[in-house]
Amino acid sequence: MTGLEVNLTAPNGHKITLPTGLFINNEFVKSSSGDKIKSINPSDESEIASVEAASAEDVDKAVKAARAAFQSEAWGGISGTDRGALMFKFADLIEEHKETLATLETWDNGKAYSVSLNEDLAETIAVIRYYAGWADKIHGLTIPTHPQKFAYTLKQPLGVCGQIIPWNFPLMMAAWKFGPALACGNTIVLKPAEQTPLSILYLATLIPKAGFPPGVINIVNGYGKEAGNALVSHQDVDKIAFTGSTITGRAVMKGASINLKNLTLETGGKSPLVVFKDADIEQAAKWGHVGIMYNQGQVCTATSRILVHEDVYDEYIKQFKDVVAANKVGNPFDDDTFQGPQVTQAQYERVLSYIESGKSEGAKLATGGVPHKNVGNGKGFFIEPTVFTDVTENMKIFQEEVFGPFVVITPFKTEEEAVRLANNSCYGLGAALFTQDVERAHRVSAKLEAGMVWVNSSNDSDIRVPFGGVKQSGIGRELGAAGLEAYSQTKAVHINMGLKL
Ligand code: NAD
């Protein structure tokens, strides 16, 4: 034992040796300030472990390590094929350790273990493999410009990339950012969210095993205001990729302006789901439910505003409540649990405060609206799935992102009104619509102000398809080929083959 690891036994009996240091230059090290982050189990409020929290000085060390790796022959000098091979090995190792990683994810975050294992880990592995496949297919163009001249373009990495991720999908968000950054040949300093620092530390142990040279991937757990801010405002960081709240996104944009960093932001949402009267109501209720209640409602793309045609409004609410009742809130390690606890006490209190707001503004509480106290020791941050109906567009609960198992349902009369209501938001991440009229599906899809539209579905996300928002939901795209654009730059080289002056 180095003093920077702990032996843990998880609630599912899994035994784990977990490093607790900052991961810089392929080594776990102590924080220079001695600051720590205490990780709390949201299911029973017990402490799981205490890990090192990075200071600005530690962030600087990580950036220096990343810069040296970027300039090294061991990383900067290898081919895309070789980079891809390291990434494939990394994905294989994650797969080998997926039960341990999924256990840590559920313990720390509260999401159902079946989801951690079969969805978060499956996608983490898939996205690294997807971008490993791209690593040797990133190249420029040849452009004829004159009989004796031509130009070509080189796709080059940006350099040192700072990546700041949230707590709702810790490993998946790390993988979405690692994949394209590594494929393009960048180096990384990743700052996980302070609410969920654990799974990424175990993941870090696999980085040297995969063969990545020191400094290519550095991981600095830490607090947003200290470590996050130090990364964003560092003069030798070339890019910031951020996922989190819109308010922090604004601070990130401001801080990153110090040296005009390249920026991608994936921020908040209040995505609408529109149910027209010709929709398959049963399907619209089931997709609507999963679209908001999945992951305890802690999804940036969650379809948290449901707009329903007045003729099918009552029937829709009835069916939606039936689906809510059929899904268990409980211990995330139980096989049949759909909804676990909110990630932290702060998020739990935030959701409860919006319940009060909904009541005081005169919305009708159709179900839920109270903590759920029937799990384990009666502690933990569980909330009954909450549905407010008769919600009007000026209410706070219609406009603000709650980020919990909390949905508002609003009636509409015409297609025009539905589109106007759907677009009445400062956000524009996702939008869903249910109709059997193919013309309407395309017409409305084009009018919705959103980065992604789901027709007769909700919250589809695929590693091959661009993901991101418009308005205050973000800048730039992740995933798919579009994700590579965010981590490479185009250099134009002009060649004169003999044109004399
Ligand atoms: P946040 O935006 O504060 O945190 C996201 C990440 O940014 C974390 O790693 C955090 O440490 C870091 N950060 C915080 N302040 C920073 C700063 N000044 N400079 C640099 N980095 C900083 O989000 P949160 O507090 O975890 O959650 C608050 C709300 O954000 C939620 O209720 C929800 O509405 C929203 N949220 C959205 C997403 C999403 O995926 N869009 C994810 C998580 C939270």
Domain with 238 in it: what CATH number? 3.40.605.10
Q: Which of 52, 266, 401, 415 is catalytic?
A: 266
Number of domains the chain contains: 2
In a domain, 469, yes or no: no
Query: Would you state the pLDDT for residue 374?
Result: 85
Out of 173, 196, 248, give the residue to mutate to test ligand 1, the one with the largest number of ligand atoms within 8 Å of its CB: 248
Whether 263 and 296 share a structural domain: no
Query: Would you state the pLDDT for residue 377?
Result: 84
Dist. CA 309–CA 236, nearest whole Å: 53
Whether 262 and 290 share a structural domain: no
Give SS3 for 127: helix
In a domain, 324, yes or no: yes
Whether 52 and 129 share a structural domain: yes
In a domain, 467, yes or no: no
Query: Would you state the pLDDT for residue 3?
Result: 81
**What separation in Å is there between the alpha carbon of 463 and the centre of ligand 1?**
23
Whether 164 and 80 share a structural domain: yes
In a domain, 496, yes or no: no
pTM of the predicted protein model: 0.97
252 lines ligand 1 (CB under 6 A): yes
In a domain, 471, yes or no: no
Residue ranges in the chain modelled with pLDDT below 70: 1-2
Whether 214 and 296 share a structural domain: no
Q: Is 266 among the catalytic positions? A: yes
Element (H, E) at 367: strand 364-367
**What separation in Å is there between the alpha carbon of 165 and the centre of ligand 1?**
8
Q: Which segments of 229-344 does DSSP mark as H helices, in order?
A: 229-232, 246-256, 281-293, 313-325
Whether 257 and 343 share a structural domain: no
Q: Are 417 and 276 within 8 A, CB to CB?
A: no
Pairing of strands 15-19, 5-9: antiparallel
260 CB-near residues (< 8 Å, 6+ apart): none
Phi, psi (rounded to 5 degrees) for 336:
-95, 10
460 CB-near residues (< 8 Å, 6+ apart): 452, 454
Query: Would you state the pLDDT for residue 2?
Result: 64
226 lines ligand 1 (CB under 6 A): no
Whether 239 and 299 share a structural domain: no
Domain that holds residue 364: 272-462
Whether 277 and 170 share a structural domain: no
In a domain, 494, yes or no: no
**What separation in Å is there between the alpha carbon of 99 and the centre of ligand 1?**
27
Q: Which segments of 77-217 does DSSP mark as H helices, in order?
A: 80-96, 98-109, 113-115, 122-134, 170-183, 198-210
Whether 400 and 384 share a structural domain: yes
Return the CATH number at 438: 3.40.309.10
243 lines ligand 1 (CB under 6 A): yes
In a domain, 361, yes or no: yes
Whether 351 and 209 share a structural domain: no
What's at 376, amino acid-wise? Answer: G
Dist. CA 124–CA 171, nearest whole Å: 7
Whether 186 and 290 share a structural domain: no
In a domain, 384, yes or no: yes
**What separation in Å is there between the alpha carbon of 147 and the centre of ligand 1?**
54
Dist. CA 405–CA 451, nearest whole Å: 23
254 lines ligand 1 (CB under 6 A): no
Whether 310 and 411 share a structural domain: yes
Query: Would you state the pLDDT for residue 128?
Result: 98
Q: Are 91 and 207 within 8 A, CB to CB?
A: no
Count the Cβ atoms, other than its own, within 10 Å of residue 151.
15
